[in-house]
C-alpha cells in the first residue's frame, strides 16, 4: 500500500489538517484514481492505519457543515512527516517499485530541494541501468538465448521498459536542472490541493486507463 500511503500522507501534509473526503477529492484532482488504487475504501483504511501507527493524529469533528455523517480530521505527526519523506525518497530513487508509487512521488517531487530531487532521480537511472544489465545476463542461458523461445520476449519487454524508463527519467532530470518548476525553499510553493469548496475541474468520473498500478 505504499502508493496510497504516500498519496494520503502527502495530501494531508499539504492541507495541514484534512478529513477523508478532502483527501479523496485531492487524489481525484491529481488523476490518482486513474493510475492507483485510490478508491474511497482504501483511502479511509489508509488514514485509520496511519493513525494507528502513530503517523497521524485523529481529531473527531462535529457533523460537517454541508451534510453527511460526522467527520474525522487528520494531521501528520512528526513521525508521519519523517515517513512521508522517507517514502518519497525511496519511491523516486528505487526503480523496483510499482508504477503508481512513482507517479505519486512525481506529484510530490517539489516538496524536496531541487538538488536532492536530481540526485534521487540520477540514482534511479543508475538502478535502471544496473537492472537492465542483470536481466540480459541472468536470463541468457549458457546454451544461447534461443533456448528460451518466445519466453525471451518477456525479458525483452523488461529491457524495453528499463530503457524507456531511464530515458524518461533523464529527460526529467534535464528539465529540472534547466530550472523548471518551483522546488522547496525557492519561494511560493506550488498549490496542489483543492481549497475547501473549490470544484475539481478534472472530475469527470470516466476514462479509466489504470495503467501499471
Partner DNA sequence: GCAGCAGTAATCAAACTTGAATAGCTGATC
Partner DNA sequence: GATCAGCTATTCAAGTTTGATTACTGCTGC
Task: Note the residues at the interface with a copy of itself (CB under 8 A).
Answer: 30-31, 35, 95-99, 102-103, 106-107, 109-110, 131, 134-135, 138-139, 141, 149-151, 153-158, 160-161, 163-164, 167-168, 172, 175, 180-182, 190, 192, 201-202, 207-213
Q: Does 19 bind DNA (CB under 7 A)?
A: yes
Binding pattern for the stretch 47-66 against DNA, x by CB under 7 A and - elsewhere: --x-------------xxxx
Residue 177 interface partner, choices a copy of itself, DNA, none, CB cut-off 5-8 Å depending on type: none
CA torsion through residues 83, 89, 90, 92, sign? positive
Q: Does 45 bind DNA (CB under 7 A)?
A: yes
Helix (H) or strand (E) segment spanning residue 58: strand 56-63
Order of strands, sheet of 56-63, starting from the edge strand that comes earlier in the sequence: 18-19, 70-76, 56-63
Residue 207 interface partner, choices DNA, a copy of itself, none, CB cut-off 5-8 Å depending on type: a copy of itself
Cell 542461458 belongs to residue: 141
For the record, the C-alpha cell of 45 comes out as 483504511
For the record, the C-alpha cell of 16 comes out as 495541514
Query: Are 140 and 117 in contact, with CB atoms under 8 Å apart?
Result: no
Q: Does 37 bind DNA (CB under 7 A)?
A: yes
Residue 72 interface partner, choices a copy of itself, DNA, none, CB cut-off 5-8 Å depending on type: DNA
Q: Does 91 bind DNA (CB under 7 A)?
A: no
**Which CB, 143 or 208, lies closer to DNA?**
208
Residue 40 and residue 29: Cα distance in Å, rounded?
14
Q: Does 67 bind DNA (CB under 7 A)?
A: yes
Q: Which stretch binds DNA (CB under 7 A): 19-27, 108-116, 120-128, 179-187?
A: 19-27
**Which CB, 52 or 175, lies closer to DNA?**
52
Helical residues (DSSP H) of the chain, grouped into ranges: 2-15, 20-29, 32-35, 40-52, 78-93, 99-108, 114-138, 152-177
For the record, the C-alpha cell of 13 comes out as 501534509
Q: Rg of the chain's alpha carbons, rounded to an integer?
A: 20
Q: Which residues bind DNA (CB under 7 A)?
A: 1, 3-4, 19-22, 24, 37, 39-42, 44-46, 49, 63-72
Amino acid at each position: 500500500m505504499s502508493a496510497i500511503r504516500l498519496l494520503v500522507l502527502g495530501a494531508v501534509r499539504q492541507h495541514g489538517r484534512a478529513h477523508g473526503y478532502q483527501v479523496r477529492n485531492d487524489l481525484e484532482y491529481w488523476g490518482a484514481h486513474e493510475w492507483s488504487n485510490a478508491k474511497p475504501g482504501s483511502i479511509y483504511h489508509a488514514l485509520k492505519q496511519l493513525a494507528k501507527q502513530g503517523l497521524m493524529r485523529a481529531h473527531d469533528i462535529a457533523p460537517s457543515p454541508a451534510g453527511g455523517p460526522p467527520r474525522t480530521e487528520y494531521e501528520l505527526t512528526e513521525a508521519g512527516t519523517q515517513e512521508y519523506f522517507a517514502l518519497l525518497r525511496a519511491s523516486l530513487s528505487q526503480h523496483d517499485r510499482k508504477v503508481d508509487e512513482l507517479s505519486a512521488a512525481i506529484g510530490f517531487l517539489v516538496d524536496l530541494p531541487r538538488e536532492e530531487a536530481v540526485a534521487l532521480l540520477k540514482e534511479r537511472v543508475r538502478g535502471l541501468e544496473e537492472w537492465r544489465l542483470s536481466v540480459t545476463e541472468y536470463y541468457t542461458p549458457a546454451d544461447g538465448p534461443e533456448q528460451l523461445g518466445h519466453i525471451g520476449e518477456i525479458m525483452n519487454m523488461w529491457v524495453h521498459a528499463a530503457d524507456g524508463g531511464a530515458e524518461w527519467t533523464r529527460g526529467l532530470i534535464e528539465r529540472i536542472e534547466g530550472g523548471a518548476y518551483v522546488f522547496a525553499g525557492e519561494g511560493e510553493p506550488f498549490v496542489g490541493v483543492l481549497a475547501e469548496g473549490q470544484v475539481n475541474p478534472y472530475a469527470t468520473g470516466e476514462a479509466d486507463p489504470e495503467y501499471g498500478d
